[in-house]
Amino acid sequence: MGISREGRHKRRETGGRREKYRKKRKFELGRPPAMTKIGEKRVHEVRCRGGNLKFRALRLDAGNFSWGTEVCTRKVRVLDVTYNASNNELVRTKTLVKGAIVLVDAHPFKSWYEAHYGTKIGLKKSAPPAATDEGKKSSSVQKKIAKRNAGRTLEGSIDHQMASGRLLAKVTSRPGQSGRCDGIILEGPELAFYQKMMARK
């Protein structure tokens, strides 16, 4: 029997059984889940109603992730799945779905931040402070960087993650529908919430 999305087989709110007055219809069909895994990119096209296409990602290893407070988006590697509010089995099998909390490579964001603000971040406590190359920059560039630094704030938890080379992010796209794994870098109260949930496990 095919997967169907109709609800006529369910009982009424009052508990009574419904009449079976018709069979399944093509427009009520459902399909098996994509269960997207981390690996070399593999995307299948699925022909849908009206000749439209869905892109069923079976494996993905990278996506566009956005750092909201810094308004910076970079294509980064997805390294691991660390938490899923809906099902722990999706964490064990490393399945990419919308809403999954994943670890992504921090280096593209770190290199952009250091170039943009002219300051080193994610330094280990024991490491000596890195020498800055202020002499190599023109006065106009130095003024621009000084102006940017005037209102600069970097969350401690983000700085700590930068040192490890990995950032926690949330998948906001639907890999089984769009064939992409895009998302946002976690920060602020949302990051604190997910860190607390992961520590509780």
Q: What is the pLDDT of residue 134?
A: 52
The rounded distance, in Å, linking the Cα atoms of 160 and 125 is: 10
Lowest mean pLDDT, pick from 14-23, 42-51, 96-105, 108-117: 108-117
**CA dihedral (188, 193, 196, 197) positive or negative:** negative
Reference 35, options 176, 133, 168; nearest CA is 176
pTM, full prediction: 0.86
Q: How far is CA 87 from CA 46, 81, 94, 180, 181, in A?
A: 26, 12, 11, 21, 19
Per residue in 41-74, pLDDT tens? 999 999 999 999 999 999 999 999 999 998 999 9
Other beta carbons within 10 Å of 153? 5
Per residue in 173-187, pLDDT tens? 999 999 999 999 999
Which amino acid is located at 153 in the chain?
A: T
